[in-house]
Structure 1
Amino acid sequence: MTLKIYIWAGLFGLALLSFLSLFIGVIELSLADLWHDPAAFELLVISRFPRTAAALICGSSLAIAGAIMQMLVRNRFVDPMTTGTGPGAGLGILIVTIFFPAAPLIVKMVLASLTALGASLGFLAIVQRLPPTQPLLVPLVGLVYGGIIGAGVTFVAYQADLIQYISVWMNGEFSGVIQGRYELLWIAAAVALVTYFAADQFAIVGLGRTASINLGLNYTQVMLIGLVAISIVAALTVTTVGMIPFVGLVVPNIVSRLVGDHLRNTLPLIALLGALLTLASDIVGRVLRHPFEIPVGTVFGVIGTLLFLWLLSQKPRHE
């Protein structure tokens, strides 16, 4: 199958799931209700559409952020949520909650972005000291590094009696998304869109520092732009819906196996597949224990783990 066929198939699947998402929930809603019941239309506008849009934006932007991080680190087994960036954003939220509890959401987002950027820079500094002949050390170190940050956040939250509060941010779920509480995610969508225009630069960075400089690229500047974009996406996602693991890990790898590694050409498909899997996980979480819900972070954690194990078991694509 060609790239265009995959994209058209993804668009069709995304449209179908989006339609289903608008009419699945605790309160029954149908197309007929929208015509004669103003309350049904209000439910659609206030709750169902924002939730669907949030799932689409989070899935696509996290998948793109994962693809960029894999290029910057030059490793296929990394993801912003499992290498310290996501826990770093949670640290920023915790700091704001303790010292500035009345701060608006935009302040939480800014500080979470800064702490996420600091965590990303720390991870990058550690990765550069690892032997390039041992690629599996990078994800292992990332898991340990992110675990240390997450453990620190949990410890401080426990001391401040905020453990239940911070646990909401550490496990992504869309049940609390309503009109007025998700709009900052459009910034993440804009950042993900902007990265498309720098895709070629990120691909060159993936060749390594020496090759990038020899090709005339400002290596440090492009690295910083990529890390800032990843940090903003992670911070906005964690601030709005919480951490959703494995999206940025498995989606770029699946797309790479299907259509190759040309970043500019594959980014639209990466965004589509990330949105598709995230929305599908959200729908599954709503249906499995109806009328109760399973957080999308839990559902995608299971699906992402199975997909990741499948990817590890596959032979190299061009063997």
Structure 2
Amino acid sequence: METTTRPALWDWKLGLGVLIVFALLAASLLFGQYDVFGAEDGAAMFGITRLPRTIALVLAGAAMAMSGLVMQLLTQNRFVEPSTTGTTEWAGLGLLFVLWIAPTSSILVKMMGAVAFSFIGTIVFFLFLRRVTLRSSLIVPIVGIMLGAVISAVSSFFALQTDMLQQLGIWFMGSFTSVYKGQYEVLWLVLAVLAAVFIYADRLTVVGLGEDIATNIGLNYNRMLLLGTSLIAVATGVVTVVVGSLPFLGLIVPNVVSMVRGDDLRSNLPWVCLLGIGIVTVCDLVGRIIIAPFEMPVSVILGVLGAAVFIVMIVRSTRAR
């Protein structure tokens, strides 16, 4: 009788990946238009802007890659992630709503609004999937993108009515340019989300097998689905408030990792986070270089890369049939 063993959580390949990502992060710390080593206030600027920006790259990249992994697991669909299910758009709507009620609110209050609306949006998407039977897995992200487009239109209309359209564009730009000390610290919540995903990894994996199997082994399916949705909402809401939209990151990374290592959530989580950090950092460095001394938003580069990967996945899925 053949037995399957879980892939090792740590091996030399992961160690090599960590070294490569550390090298990219070092490049992020060292590279920039402002000379933090030669200027008199260079050390201060390094602590105010350069270091927070690099930390934000780590936390945001890990958060969105992890969100895509969990969302794909819960929906049993490899084509979904926060930007293809409307979750990111709901977070932006929540941010607008908070600023409309309390324009001078702190970033913590903004985060709470974005998280709450992200949770509502993700629940709406999951409820739709449970109520409607879709013949093809390709229809699921299309439905999510349509829902996101509706929410985006509502946000734009609301922003026009409240003179916040310019702010809306800045928030959804998906750039690390505006990350600085005192503004990014809520991203540390991502570590708690990652820890929770790792702790409940096996249960979330069972939930991904379907309600019948989860119930048969004594697992509360709805409770775990609610937990997974909450974790996705927190990660997406926090990243949206601090950085903006990072499209397709949660689509690219989990699929690349699963093609190489399979679908075990617990052993894949370090790889997913590491690859997410690496991709975001590379895109950020490219954005700083390509039109220097100006910067191109990370979301633009991720959008092009993610769209290409999305098309390739659709073509491969169609040919497999």
1:60-71 residue pairs with structure 2 within 5 A?
Answer: 60-71=62-73
What's 1:128 paired with?
130
The amino acid across from 1:240 in the alignment is V
Q: Deviations along 1:241-282, whole A, 9 cap, x unmatched?
A: 111110111100000001111111101000000010011111
- 1:224 equivalenced with 2:222 (yes/no): no
Larger mean Cα displacement after TM superposition, 124-133 or 207-216? 124-133
Aligned residues: 313
What's 1:12 paired with?
19
Preserved contact between residue 204 and residue 212 of structure 1 (Cα < 8 Å): yes
What's 1:278 paired with?
280
What's 1:41 paired with?
43
What's 1:192 paired with?
194
Preserved contact between residue 117 and residue 228 of structure 1 (Cα < 8 Å): yes
Q: Any idea what SS the aligned residue of 2:41 has? A: helix
For residue 13 of structure 1, report the CA deviation from its aligned partner. Answer: 1.4
- 1:23 equivalenced with 2:25 (yes/no): no
Deviating above 3 A after TM superposition, structure 1's stretches of 4 or more consecutive aligned residues are 310-316
The amino acid across from 1:208 in the alignment is G
What's 2:203 paired with?
201
For residue 4 of structure 1, report the CA deviation from its aligned partner. Answer: 2.7
Q: Any idea what SS the aligned residue of 1:261 has? A: coil
Q: Any idea what SS the aligned residue of 1:81 has? A: helix
**For the residues of structure 1 that align with 2:263 and 2:216, how far apart are their CA atoms?**
22
For residue 29 of structure 1, report the CA deviation from its aligned partner. Answer: 4.0
The amino acid across from 1:297 in the alignment is S
**For the residues of structure 2 that align with 1:93 and 1:116, how far apart are their CA atoms?**
10
What's the Cα RMSD here? 2.0
Larger mean Cα displacement after TM superposition, 161-170 or 1-10? 1-10
Report the CA distance shift for 1:216/1:244 in structure 2 as closer, same or farther (over 3 A): same
Which residue among 261, 274, 277 is the counterpart of 2:263?
A: 261
For residue 74 of structure 1, report the CA deviation from its aligned partner. Answer: 1.1
Unaligned runs of 5+ in 2: 1-6
Report the CA distance shift for 1:6/1:246 in structure 2 as closer, same or farther (over 3 A): farther
Task: Give the TM-score normalised by the residue count of structure 2.
Answer: 0.93
Q: Deviations along 1:97-128, whole A, 9 cap, x unmatched?
A: 11111211111111111111011110011111
**For the residues of structure 2 that align with 1:122 and 1:102, how far apart are their CA atoms?**
30
**For the residues of structure 2 that align with 1:245 and 1:120, how far apart are their CA atoms?**
16
- 1:117 equivalenced with 2:119 (yes/no): yes
Which residue among 86, 89, 92 is the counterpart of 2:88?
A: 86
Larger mean Cα displacement after TM superposition, 128-137 or 280-289? 128-137
Task: Give the TM-score normalised by the residue count of structure 1.
Answer: 0.93
Unaligned runs of 5+ in 1: none
For residue 129 of structure 1, report the CA deviation from its aligned partner. Answer: 2.6
Q: Deviations along 1:275-306, whole A, 9 cap, x unmatched?
A: 10011111110010111000111111112222
**For the residues of structure 1 that align with 2:281 and 2:109, how far apart are their CA atoms?**
28
The amino acid across from 1:18 in the alignment is L
**For the residues of structure 2 that align with 1:132 and 1:254, how far apart are their CA atoms?**
25
